[in-house]
Chain A
């Protein structure tokens, strides 16, 4: 017992397999016109089709097919010239028809791959993760378990079902087995899911929010003795709901398997549930007998045969691969690694790029979005994208600062005005009467007034004690309601008091 990770990888080679379920962000469900809004009141987004009322029939959402083909293309898959839906038959109360419309032996995308790069002892290293298939299916409803201890299924007295989620389009992305990662298996698993998430986000096909369940990962892990041919028995860990958990789950399962094997036991093929709090997995019901899903072609739907022109149009519209784009932007903007990571974390890369494309300096654009605007979003507890400020607004503000029409301080007021819905920057400036006071006459009047009021301080400056000018400049700025350019004020003030201005 209590093996270290190093002990495990010294003896065993891990083999990975990853299944990722992605909820597409279509407006309507996979087979009916119900809305797909997250968090809606229970059973307000249901209809005869997604409740499986007798007589109702499914019709495929074209956008879902399109999104799935895009995913396949982005993952370097071949798009099947002929694919079909099939019924996967099993009874479960969260699945209204008691079969899931899925794809079985005729999925829409096959044989792809993505390359991921991770830091190793020998520096950055690339691993290729091969994708076996990408197929379409539908999500289930959600159950709320009542009674018993923790809202968990075990010990519950009854359950309450909400079918809003039933029928939301799901895409399942299944890798081939990934051997050869050695001790880096947990990192490769995490990097794969992260890269996949970035690709899906760049395609705009899913919200990819692991915490809301729009991206869910099942990690399959098995061990074999180093050098052995035969694969070991695998466990399937479900409920892995963050990137960090992917890494922890794989590592944890490797250790658990190794402990079992070292003790002369065997690994049971079963589903396990990852527990965020402990980082351990807990056994689900083991599959004593394999489920018999009785797949057969869905007779209510007809085959999908995407024509080449459609596929090529979609291929042509694919965005740049996120990892490549990141490298390109980092170089072009000369951003340090850490700042780049901050931008990605804050999800402002697109917005900053757009702002730069509108003419703003990359450093300025970055500092606005990552600084002031992020701060306001945080305070308001909303996403940056939901704030009423656009890259165009920011580019405009940056330009006004550059031309000297705004000071940094005034610019912050403009940003705040735009966000609070007062209009475009020009409108905020007009409404609030924000203006850099460039009129030397007006400034001189203020300077003379301040010098008269604070004659003692003015005298000190006149006597050559320059640091004392700070208080006077501050007073002038106050007098001009912050609209003066502080540098110009300093220049005029020092001149007025007979001091050198630089």
Chain B
């Protein structure tokens, strides 16, 4: 019933920024037919009168005071950087909008 075509998987992989081989796209598309049927069961009981729960706790208004706490040193901040230059993270050229 529910299914995802190879092209739909490719579009989702694009949104999720994951390169995928043709083989992977096809096999995921097959798997999703099974998985989506299983998870689509939620629709059986999700009637309009049921409120959604996005969080298990009913906490409200959790804030922190506007107080500055020490930051990492730039060395620490950049310690995991695959590449750096001038105390900044160096990344490949960015396409798209400014």
Contact = CB atoms under 8 A, between A and B. Distances in A.
Contact of B64 (A34, A42, A59): A59
A63 B90 CA distance: 33
Majority DSSP secondary structure for residues of B touching A: loop
Nearest to A306: B61
B19 interface: no
Contact of B68 (A35, A292, A301): A35
B55 A153 contact: no
Interface residues of A, number: 58
A306 B63 CA distance: 12
A64 B64 CA distance: 10
Contacts, number: 135
B41 interface: no
Interface in A296-336: 296-297, 299, 301-306
Nearest to B92: A158
Interface in A128-156: 143-147, 152-153, 156
Contacts of A65: 63
Given A59-B64, A60-B62, A42 B86 contact: yes
A41 B74 contact: yes
Nearest to A35: B68
Interface string B10-23: 00000101000000
A161 interface: yes
Interface in B66-88: 66-74, 77-78, 80, 85-88
A297 B64 CA distance: 20
B93 to A, nearest CB: 5
Given A34-B68, A34-B71, A304-B61, A284 B91 contact: no
Nearest to A143: B94
A159 interface: yes
B98 interface: yes
Interface string A280-301: 0000110000001010110101
A65 B64 CA distance: 11
B87 A43 contact: yes
Interface in A34-59: 34-35, 41-48, 51, 53, 59
B4 to A, nearest CB: 15
Given A41-B74, A153-B94, A305-B61, A28 B86 contact: no
A475 to B, nearest CB: 60
B63 A27 contact: no
B77 A43 contact: yes
A215 B29 CA distance: 46
B74 A302 contact: no
Contacts of B94: 92-93, 143, 145, 153, 156, 159
A5 interface: no
A271 interface: yes
Contact of A161 (B74, B88, B98): B88
A299 B88 contact: no
Contacts of B77: 43, 46-47, 51, 163
A61 interface: yes
Contacts of A26: 66
A46 B88 CA distance: 12
A159 B93 contact: yes
A62 interface: yes
A279 interface: no
29 contacts: A28-B66, A28-B67, A33-B67, A33-B68, A42-B86, A42-B88, A43-B77, A43-B87, A45-B71, A46-B72, A47-B71, A47-B72, A48-B72, A61-B63, A62-B64, A65-B63, A153-B94, A153-B98, A160-B89, A161-B90, A161-B91, A239-B98, A292-B15, A296-B54, A301-B62, A302-B55, A302-B59, A302-B60, A305-B61
In the A-B complex, the 9 residue pairs with the closest CB atoms:
A33-B69, A63-B66, A62-B63, A160-B88, A297-B54, A161-B89, A302-B59, A59-B64, A43-B74
Given A27-B67, A158-B90, 5 more contacts: A41-B74, A63-B65, A146-B85, A158-B91, A160-B85
Interface of B: 15, 17, 54-55, 57, 59-74, 77-78, 80, 85-94, 96-98
